[in-house]
Amino acid sequence: MVVIVTGASSGIGKAICDLLGSKGHLVYGLSRRKVHESTFTSMQVDVTNKDEIIKAFETIYEKEQVIDVVINNAGMGISGSIEDTECIDAKTMFDVNFFGSFEVIQVALPYLRKQKQSKIINITSLTGEFPIPFQAFYSASKAALNNFSWALQNEVKPFGISVCALMPGDVKTGFTSQRKKNTQTTIEYGSRVKKSVSVMEKDEQNGMPPIEIAKKVHTLIKKKRMPIQVTVGFKYQVLLFIKRLFSATFVNKILGSMYGFFKLK
Q: Name, in order, each residue with C-beta under 8 angstroms of 196's C-beta and a sequence gap of 6 or more.
A: 79, 132, 133, 134, 135, 259, 260, 261
Q: Name, in order, each residue with C-beta under 8 angstroms of 235's C-beta and a sequence gap of 6 or more.
A: 169
* Torsion angles phi and psi, residue 68, rounded to 5: -100, -40
Give, in degrees to the nearest 5, the angle at Cα 108 between 143 and 48.
Answer: 60
189 is known as an active-site residue? no
Q: Is 11 left (phi over 0), alpha (psi -120 to 50) or beta?
A: left
Query: Containing H/E element for 118?
Result: strand 118-123
Q: 123 - beta bridge partners? A: 166
Catalytic residue among 28, 111, 138, 236: 138
Closest C-alpha among 163, 161, 91, 168 to residue 128 = 168
Helices 136-156 and 87-94 meet at what angle, rounded to 10?
30
Distances in whole angstroms, Cα of residue 52 to Cα of each of 46, 122, 248, 265 = 7, 20, 41, 47
Residues with a known catalytic role: 138
